[in-house]
């Protein structure tokens, strides 16, 4: 086999191809499939395709992926919700800050100004309590984790709360 400017492989010999799959973003999770096409001078097999498939795991696994709380009566305190954040990377990740946007929609514990160090395999339970003074209808926002990891400087955790009038 030979490609213009590529290595020559003599009949009966072999060559090693090294390929590296990298995540499209630091937060990508899911299947990743890549194809390597090899052009040959063999008339019976002028093109060979090698398919490489891998499953990429996000370094910070969050369960649930978002919080949805529907049918909360106006003026009542919505029940607390939790995000479970697990470090699945082989390195320690520090969550340097946690913020709620829009400000005032919710409170979180631990407090957002305290750094949280997650060693590989460690998890953090992040309690989210929504404000009883949210306006009627659907209220959308997010909790944002800021990290010291260059590939994932921030991770948004979306939420939705529906506030409804009291039934008569």
Q: How far apart are CA 122 and CA 112, in angstroms?
A: 18
Mean pLDDT along residues 103-121: 87
Average confidence (pLDDT) over 119-135: 90
| Confidence at residue 110, expressed as pLDDT on a 0 to 100 scale | 81
Domain boundary among 56, 71, 86: 56
For residues 17 and 65, membership in a common domain is answered with no
Q: Which domain holds residue 14?
A: 1-56
Do 102 and 41 fall into the same domain?
no
Are residues 142 and 73 both part of a single domain?
yes
* Whether the predicted pLDDT of 25 surpasses 70: no
28 pLDDT exceeds 80? no
Rounded distance, CA 142 to CA 121, Å? 24
52 with 64, same domain: the answer is: no
Answer yes or no: do 136 and 65 share one domain. yes
What size, in residues, is the chain? 168
Q: What percent of the chain has pLDDT over 70?
A: 92
- Report the percent of the chain where pLDDT is more than 90: 33
73: part of which helix (H) or strand (E)?
Answer: strand 67-73
Q: How many domains does the chain have?
A: 2
For the chain, what is the mean pLDDT?
85
């Amino acid at each position: 086999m030979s490609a213009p400017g590529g290595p020559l492989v003599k009949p009966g010999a072999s060559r090693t191809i090294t390929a590296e799959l990298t995540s499209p973003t630091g937060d990508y999770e899911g299947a990743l499939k890549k194809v390597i096409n090899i052009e040959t001078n063999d008339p019976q097999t002028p093109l060979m395709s090698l398919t490489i498939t891998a499953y990429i795991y996000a370094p910070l696994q969050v369960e649930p992926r978002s919080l949805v709380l529907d049918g909360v009566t106006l003026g009542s305190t919505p029940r607390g919700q939790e995000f479970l954040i697990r470090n699945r990377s082989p390195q320690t990740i520090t969550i340097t800050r946690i913020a709620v946007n829009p400000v005032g929609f919710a409170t979180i514990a631990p407090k957002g100004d305290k750094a949280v160090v997650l060693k590989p395999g460690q998890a953090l339970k992040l309690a989210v309590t929504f404000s009883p003074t949210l306006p009627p209808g659907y209220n959308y926002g997010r909790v944002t984790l800021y990290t010291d990891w260059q590939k994932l400087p921030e991770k948004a955790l979306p939420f939705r709360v529906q506030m409804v009038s009291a039934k008569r």
